[in-house]
Chain A
Amino acid sequence: MSGRETVLSAVRTALVDVPGSESPDNAPVTHGRRADHAGPDIVGLFTERAAEYRATVVRVPMAGAAAAVGRALARTGARSVVLPPGLPEDLVSEGPWSRLKDVPPLTVNQLDAADAVITTVATAIAVTGTVTLDHGPGQGRRALTLLPDQHICVVRASQIAPDVPEALKRLDPYRPLTLVSGPSATSDIELDRVEGVHGPRVLDIVVVEDA
């Protein structure tokens, strides 16, 4: 018997007590009435919670986005910045940094050597201060937001979902998804929190008012 048949038959034997009338498709109701954890000011809550994760968060009008991105790059002294395909080019102003495009794909060593990356997001979550990438246009493949040391995220205010359930409903499960809450962190040594073990050490979030 193959491993598959062995395991499946062991599962079925173990479950003899479950009546055949019980349907496996009748999953328990998980999306009934839910408490609202976000409150009325979703954008305010998102900026507050993301900042608690030691992300640097700014709120600017649409016209101020490029300047805010420029300030974030200048703060860390970035010399090179990765622009994913589909990112509006006018988001990145002229400055003492070179622009790297991922077409054709950059090697991991080129990405490792890059200082920063700028992306848009798929959605964001107010209650948890999370940005969510589905690696579509403007976000790039997953390695782009992983190897450079600074990740600058441009979030439109209307993209912010109040809480986790609503955010998941907005996402396509068939795309690769990355949920980011603050910069990379560890508490493995005597529970002292240290930012930046393996992922980007610096996370900048620019919230753009588009309403």
Chain B
Amino acid sequence: MSGADNVVWLGTPAFPEAARDALADTRLRANLRRATGTIRDKRLAVAAELEDWEELRETAAAIKRHALRHLDHHLLRLEKAVTAAGGTVHWAADAAEANRIVTGLVEATGEREVVKVKSMATQEIGLNEALADAGIRAYETDLAELIVQLGGDRPSHILVPAIHRGRSEIREIFRREMGEWGRPAPDALTDDPRDLAEAARLHLREKFLRAKVAVSGANFAAADTGTVVVVESEGNGRMCLTLPETLITVMGIEKVLPSFADLDVFLQLLPRSSTGERMNPYTSLWTGVTEGDGPQDFHLVLLDNGRTATLADEVGRQALNCIRCSACLNVCPVYERTGGHAYGSVYPGPIGAVLTPQLVGVENAASLPFASTLCGACYDACPVKINIPEVLVHLRAEAVEAKRAARLLPTSEALAMKAAGAVLSSPGRLAAVQKVAAFGARLVGREGRIGFLPGPLARWSATRDAPAPARESMRAWWRRTRTTGRDESPTTAEGKEAR
């Protein structure tokens, strides 16, 4: 499947290796802790303002569940409504097909550049690269995406993609790169966010004013009316959605809602969960084309790219409820320490750990279902109640099965488990092993902790510190101090066997 190529970044290390490097970056960890902490507190405060927050979450989950269980029906209604309102609907089974459709539409206009609204779906299919191959330049217009694009970088957070960059780094990127792409940064550019935002405004304004074609994603689409929705803060979305002559929107098929009226639930949940605001500054809704206002040529590309495979999994399909708010990232103890790049995927954090392996096949992202402590904070935070821990456990089982099926010989982990089974099933063997372990712990332990084990155990010990076994086990202590002169309990019998 060609779509897999971009959902996971080829050549990036598996999560455990990438995470080790990220953990060593103390500045990154400090940035992340401050960012996630800030958004987390804001989100809790505004969610608490709505006393029916839990009811809203239940309703949202129910609407999404219903929409997904009858997805074909709702997609056909959406197609009909958009077409009736003057738009054109395209269907793309995978990334290659979506890229072909969009490239063809841009080429038909004769234009060689497009402006883009931040979009997870177009990142997922690698649209910018596909357009570049056809000689078309795509300009990202969201400030964070601009920083990522100019820096030749990858996004690290769903909502604030450049969260891993500090202000002085951003200043350097602007000074170095803006001139290559258009209007250069002013000479006296400081690292004040106000100054940096102004530079981005001037740099992008000329592009907005001359752009003839725009590409966007979609947050929602209502099947009954054909209305498409984009929520944003900066106004770059409105620029792209209204100034050009042609608008091409790429939307995952799971974004469809049964009705326009359903939007009220999601417009209450999304901004509060995402940025911790009661409402985001700008929300644009449009239905087909409007004469004399905005693009006169509107194309909606409905994208599958692994979504139907996800839909087929009765446990995993709930991941398609996701409205990309990023609340799960901001509460995740693992994300907070590793950042988004470690996941090696367009979709980082807890939702990435369940969505990515499903979109690309578990065998292509086998480490991601394990990139979690299963603490459940993500499930608590999710406005559409995706039970992320449940899906993670489900996918772990699949990953293990896939690995087992692919191997001729059992893994060292499987052998270790088998040996552990044998030891734990016999009290005598356990006592013997405990004695050896207590002795061994004195060799490798430091201040009561084991940080490193030799040989085949090194892989296990490299990712965790374990307490060193006690010098004497509880059972041995009991035998030594309490059993003398008492009745012949099984414990003593075992003791003999062990000796």
B365 close to A (CB within 8 Å): no
| Pairs A–B under 8 Å by Cβ, sample size 13 | A28-B63, A28-B65, A109-B209, A164-B267, A173-B222, A175-B287, A175-B290, A179-B279, A181-B278, A181-B280, A189-B147, A190-B31, A197-B201
A-B residue pairs, 5 tightest by C-beta: A199-B235, A24-B70, A10-B308, A14-B312, A198-B235
A11 close to B (CB within 8 Å): yes
Given contacts A8-B72, A188-B160, contact A199 B97 (CB under 8 A): no
A211 close to B (CB within 8 Å): no
**Interface bits B33-63 vs A (CB < 8 Å: 1, else 0):** 0110011000000000111100100010011
Structural contact, B75 and A8, CB atoms closer than 8 A: yes
Structural contact, A146 and B242, CB atoms closer than 8 A: yes
Given contacts A13-B308, A15-B311, A17-B314, contact A27 B259 (CB under 8 A): yes
Measured between beta carbons, the chain A residues less than 8 angstroms from B214 are: none
Structural contact, A142 and B63, CB atoms closer than 8 A: no
B253 close to A (CB within 8 Å): yes
Structural contact, A18 and B93, CB atoms closer than 8 A: no
**Interface bits A108-123 vs B (CB < 8 Å: 1, else 0):** 1100100000000000
Structural contact, A168 and B312, CB atoms closer than 8 A: no
**Interface bits A15-50 vs B (CB < 8 Å: 1, else 0):** 101100010101110110011010000000000010
Structural contact, A177 and B311, CB atoms closer than 8 A: no
User: Could you tell me the distance in whole angstroms from the C-beta of B95 to the nearest C-beta in chain A?
Assistant: 12
Measured between beta carbons, the chain B residues less than 8 angstroms from A165 are: 264
**Cα–Cα, bound, A132→B295 (Å):** 20
- Determine the main DSSP class of A at the interface with B: loop
**Cα–Cα, bound, A141→B242 (Å):** 9
Measured between beta carbons, the chain B residues less than 8 angstroms from A49 are: 278
Structural contact, A7 and B91, CB atoms closer than 8 A: yes
Structural contact, A164 and B264, CB atoms closer than 8 A: yes
A137 close to B (CB within 8 Å): no
**Interface bits B279-318 vs A (CB < 8 Å: 1, else 0):** 1111111110010111000000010100011011010010
Instruction: Name which residue of chain B comes closest to A128, CB basis.
Output: B279
Structural contact, A112 and B279, CB atoms closer than 8 A: no
**Cα–Cα, bound, A165→B268 (Å):** 9
Measured between beta carbons, the chain B residues less than 8 angstroms from A2 are: 91
Q: Pick the residue among B225, B235, B283 that contacts A197 (CB under 8 A).
A: B235
Structural contact, A189 and B278, CB atoms closer than 8 A: no
Structural contact, B93 and A3, CB atoms closer than 8 A: yes
Interface size class of B (residues with CB under 8 A): 35 or more
B197 close to A (CB within 8 Å): yes
Given contacts A128-B278, A199-B281, contact A189 B70 (CB under 8 A): no
Structural contact, A24 and B73, CB atoms closer than 8 A: yes
Measured between beta carbons, the chain A residues less than 8 angstroms from B314 are: 17
B243 close to A (CB within 8 Å): yes
Structural contact, A199 and B63, CB atoms closer than 8 A: no
User: Could you tell me the distance in whole angstroms from the C-beta of B327 to the nearest C-beta in chain A?
Assistant: 15
**Interface bits B57-91 vs A (CB < 8 Å: 1, else 0):** 00100110110011111111000000001000011
- What 20 additional pairs, Cβ within 8 angstroms, besides A173-B222, A197-B236? A3-B101, A11-B308, A14-B308, A14-B311, A14-B312, A18-B70, A143-B293, A146-B238, A174-B287, A176-B242, A178-B238, A178-B285, A180-B281, A181-B281, A188-B162, A189-B147, A194-B194, A194-B197, A197-B197, A198-B208
Q: Pick the residue among B93, B196, B280, B281 that contacts A7 (CB under 8 A).
A: B93
Measured between beta carbons, the chain A residues less than 8 angstroms from B267 are: 164, 168, 179
**Cα–Cα, bound, A163→B208 (Å):** 33
B239 close to A (CB within 8 Å): yes
Instruction: Name which residue of chain B comes closest to A194, CB basis.
Output: B197
User: Could you tell me the distance in whole angstroms from the C-beta of B309 to the nearest C-beta in chain A?
Assistant: 7
B205 close to A (CB within 8 Å): yes
Max chain B Cβ within 10 angstroms of own Cβ: one of A3, A164, A189? A189
**Cα–Cα, bound, A28→B262 (Å):** 10
**Cα–Cα, bound, A177→B260 (Å):** 12
